[in-house]
Amino acid sequence: MKFKKLGNTNLSVSSICLGTMTWGTQNSEKDAFEQMDYSVDQGVNFFDTAEIYSVPPTAESYGKTEVMIGNWFEKRKSRDKIILASKVAGPRCEWIRGGENNYNEKNIGLAIDGSLKRLKTDYIDLYQLHWPERSTNCFGRREYQINKNEGEWNNFEKILQVLEKFIKSGKIRYIGMSNETPYGLSKYLEISKNKNLPRMMSVQNPYSLVNRTYEIGMSEISIREKCGLLVYYPLASGALSGKYRNGQMPKNARMTLFKGWERMINPLAMKAYDEYYKLSKEINLTMVQLAQAFVNSRPFVTSNIIGATTMDQLKENIESISIELTEEILEKINIIHNNNPNPAP
């Protein structure tokens, strides 16, 4: 396993992070335990979860994943071996504190205490804002359009002041954000510096061969400010495995079971998958190996959050850390990208 520093902290996190969002819907607790056991054996020391998991998010699935992780901590007595990341949900989920804006002291406090109870721990290493309260173009929206009816949202300084209280209480150690924009990232960092408030240590956004939008406005900030990317959807919700090519919809696959990820298999994206399939065959790798090795190689990436519903998937994803792509291969990837940029945001 390889390791990188989380932001400007002294924490070294594994370059592969174990994603957990399917535990409780597509995976049982037994599956979750097997995944955690194997990952730790392979050197993974970084787990990512959220109060809203498992997915798809519903009132019934809320908190299930954290419960499974907590049960594993209790049975394995291994909390001290894991750098644990979780998240407080943003607004618009009616079953979570009424769907209101969540980044005030009351609601962040309720969220942290709920997560700590489910996780059976007294601290969370990295606590993240799951998505902005303000109107942004996250979750697949390509163009930004201001929502004149977006309502009030907690300003950045107040949010940092609230999070500082929970850092001082010992309930959380460091903070990060998710689904953010260059505006949000730069404002948080600016305010932290000018007001001597806690600093965002990471950004968890989507990034993959078919969604390299992070490179446009975010990657330079990540590198220069030491606030790296925690990648989610490195396989475009599984589509970069090639399993949806040629009209296939495999049984028990996410896009077969659930709605909400259709943008990953739009016609332009399907053309890109065919090109990456050809390249992977040419260089004797699987599509998964090619896609994950590319993400792992990016200098602005702190850790790659992998998700798996089977042990074979998990093993292939973790093993990608040992694959080095040559400059020639990277150039061929860039040619495919330039011919069909970011088809699956």
Please list the active-site residues: 53
The secondary element (H helix, E strand) that includes residue 215 is: helix 214-217
How far apart CA 8 and CA 344 sit, in angstroms, is 31
- Helix (H/G/I), strand (E/B), else coil: 55: coil
- Find out whether the peptide bond into 56 is cis, omega within 30 degrees of 0: yes
Please choose, from the candidates 131, 125, 119, the residue with its C-alpha nearest in 3D space to the C-alpha of residue 23. 119
All residues at 6 or more sequence positions from 312 whose CB lies less than 8 Å from its CB, including other chains = none
- Pair 80, 44: CB distance under 8 Å: no
CB burial readout 126-148, b (16+ within 10 A) else e: bbbbbbbbbbbebeeeeeeeeee
All residues at 6 or more sequence positions from 300 whose CB lies less than 8 Å from its CB, including other chains = 214, 215, 218, 219, 222, 223, 228, 229
Q: What's the residue count for the chain?
A: 345
Structure tokens at 259: 């709605």
Please choose, from the candidates 119, 113, 202, 104, the residue with its C-alpha nearest in 3D space to the C-alpha of residue 152. 104
> Maximum distance among all alpha carbons in the chain?
55
Region for residue 124 given its phi and psi (left: phi exceeds 0; alpha: psi -120 to 50; beta: otherwise): beta
How far apart CA 82 and CA 345 sit, in angstroms, is 31
How far apart CA 187 and CA 164 sit, in angstroms, is 17
Structure tokens at 305: 């959050």
